[in-house]
Amino acid sequence: MADSSFLATKRYAVVTGGNKGIGLEICRQLAFNGVTVVLTARDKKKGMEAVENLHQSGLADFVIFHQLDVLDSASIASLADFVESHFGKLDILVNNAATVGLILDSNAVKAAVFNAFVTNEGANRVLSDAENLTEERVDRLLQEFLQDLKEGVLETKGWNSYLSAYTLSKAALNAYTRILAKKYPRFMINSVCPGYVKTGINCFTGILSTEEGAQSPVRLALSPAGGVSGMFFSRTDVVPF
């Protein structure tokens, strides 16, 4: 257990997509550090099974389950009400839930991970201009991409030739991180790439274990107040867009 005085005060965390992979390991490591963790998952059965496994490993006092579908506003409201009524506060939120929605070729996934940059010049100009980033500018950019996708002109418009939506979604998430950090200066809001981790989403072709992949998000989650915000981390290193 961590013995830092910073962790002496009871802290509460919500981890989305916590029933497997990196999300599950993040729950484990946070709980091991004395944080009460609400493990969430879309599938109640899978979520409960994950919590039971953590309980059997000695973390029964630190992990509980609550169902959450991040695409369902009623489900989100239910979780918020639960946190408010049971804890009265939330110290840590780890947005880990993800969905692919298609069958992936493992080689394509590997290529996208190691070449995860946006090739469209206009998109790069917008997303790299940290000082002038706004939700409206990012939303317009995403709408432009969707229109090019519908018209079948991604390649001619300079978008990535494979997994273009995946790559742009990651870049847009980094942009929203910066926007939110400016909007809420009292919070520490960062995004982190855990590295190429062996998980189901990449057909277990990664090179890092889930334990290694969870270390960076957990380190950020446990950072003392007043730490960095609005940053994008590649594991432990701050990197530019």
pLDDT 10s digits, 173-207:
999 999 999 999 999 999 999 998 998 877 888 89
Residues 171 and 141 in one domain: yes
User: Do 87 and 145 fall within a single domain?
Assistant: no
Task: Looking at the structure, tell me whether residues 112 and 123 fall in a common domain.
Answer: yes
Q: How many domains does the chain have?
A: 2
108 and 186, same domain (yes or no): yes
Closest to 93 (Cα-Cα) out of 80, 103, 104: 80
Q: Does 196 qualify as catalytic in the annotation?
A: no
How far apart, in whole angstroms, are the C-alpha atoms of residue 165 and residue 93?
25
Number of H helices, E strands in the chain: 8, 7
Look at the alpha carbons of 17, 22, 24, 27 in this order and tell me if their dihedral is positive or negative. Answer: negative
Tokens of 126: 């917008």
pLDDT of amino acid 203: 82
* Residue 129 and residue 73 in one domain: no
On whether both 231 and 115 belong to a single domain, the answer is yes
What pLDDT, on a 0 to 100 scale, did the predictor assign at position 110?
A: 52
Q: What is the pLDDT of residue 1?
A: 43
Q: What are phi and psi of 107, to 5 degrees?
A: -65, -40
State whether 87 and 171 are in the same domain: no
What integer pLDDT is reported at residue 135 of this predicted model? 96
Q: pLDDT digits over 3-50, tens only?
A: 444 445 899 999 999 999 999 999 999 999 999 999 999 999 999 999
Output 53 or 225, whichever has higher pLDDT: 53
Its domain, for residue 89, covers 1-98
Residue 161 is given by DSSP the state S
- Supply 191's token pair: 């995004």
CATH number at residue 157: 3.40.50.720
Residue 115 sits in the same domain as residue 210: yes
Is a pLDDT exceeding 60 seen at residue 2? no
> Residue 9's pLDDT is what?
80
Q: Of the residues 162, 166, 176, 184, which is catalytic?
A: 166
* Per-residue pLDDT reduced to its tens digit, 104-160: 455 555 544 444 578 899 999 999 898 899 999 999 999 999 999 999 999 999 998
- Please tell me the pTM assigned to this model: 0.86
Q: What is the pLDDT of residue 183?
A: 95
pLDDT beyond 90 at 59: yes
